[in-house]
Amino acid sequence: MPYDLKNKLVIGVASSALFDLTASDKVFKTKGEEAYRKYQRRNQDKILDKGVAFQFIKGLLSLNKVTESDPLVEVILLSRNDPDTGFRVFRSIAHYDLPITRAVFLQGRSAFNYIPAFNISLFLSGNEGDVRDAIAQGHPAGLVVKSDTDYGSLSDEAEIRVAFDFDGVLASDEAEKEYAAGGLASFRSHEKANAEKALAPGLLKSLLEGLARIQSVEMDRAKVDASYEPRLRISIVTARDAPAHERVVVTMREWGVMINDAFFLGGIDKGVVMDVLKPHIFFDDQLSHLASTSKFTPSVHVPFGVRNEEDI
């Protein structure tokens, strides 16, 4: 019987998001594919350092222990390598005991076309072109942001914290278009008039819903096992403030999703929140915000909507 991905949270991750490929990428860009192939073969037993998405991926996979039967999370490696040059990546996966067994190797080509085939709710990569191409096709994707963050270690019992910006990430960029066209006053007027109307879904709504399903499984386990502490925690960190916060709450209610934490900052630097919250990953559509947050936590750019049109 085929392995069914339909009811799982499926993440597609490129090796450039999972590991630090700075050295090997430099070889490829400066010396070409054949030199890169030889370099990877020489270093196939040299374990790659952790990358921006490593702890997020490790944390999600550890949640498979919540149930004793069908796994809740599936992570698929989507690689521009061929199986030969990707050999080192799987050696590194094994070294870190990551339960990733499925992979797609497409020599020199992006795997974003396979996102719907594998029911993927998030594609993470360090290749900006691949991420933008995926988003242009309407697929959920994010570009890991380089930072000096210490990715450290994460035990299988630790809390897993995932944080999102709201507009242009979880929800559509409708409100951001209003702000871009008419400024803050226009935005506030628009949001007040539509306070009771849920926003349309953004690219990462399916990821949020998948995380929410896992939280429901955790709560069910806690009801029958008093010793179990739910580990997954979801936060929204947005530049919205009152009264524009109401539309966030209304949208979450209509989607049937309960958020653990919400920060309505009204322009306060998001980095000061990340320094305390310390999520294992944070998603935002604005690079100006990520320049600050990436100093404190692994951060991902979602280059979608009006905030990114000038960059395309």
Query: What DSSP string describes 63-129?
Result: GGGGSSSS-SEEEEEEESS-TTTTHHHHHHHHHTT----EEEE-TTS--GGGTTTTTEEEEEES-HH
Region for 241 from its dihedrals, namely left if φ exceeds 0, alpha if ψ lies in -120 to 50, beta otherwise: beta
Residue 84 near residue 37, CB atoms below 8 Å: yes
Nearest C-alpha neighbor of 98 from the set 106, 87, 89, 110: 89
Tokens describing residue 35: 């030199």
Task: Decide: helix, strand or coil at residue 153.
Answer: coil
Catalytic-residue membership of 84: no
Tokens describing residue 110: 């992006």
Edge-to-edge strands of the sheet including 232-238?
102-105, 73-79, 9-13, 120-125, 141-144, 299-301, 281-284, 160-164, 232-238, 261-264
CA atoms within 13 A on the CB side of 285: 25
Amino acid identity of residue 233, one-letter, is R
Instruction: Give me the residues paired with residue 201 across strands.
Output: 171
Which one-letter DSSP state was computed for residue 195? T
Residue of 165, 173, 284, 285 marked active site = 165
- 3-state SS track over 28-44: HHHHCHHHHHHHHHHCC
Residue 299 near residue 281, CB atoms below 8 Å: yes
Active site residues: 165
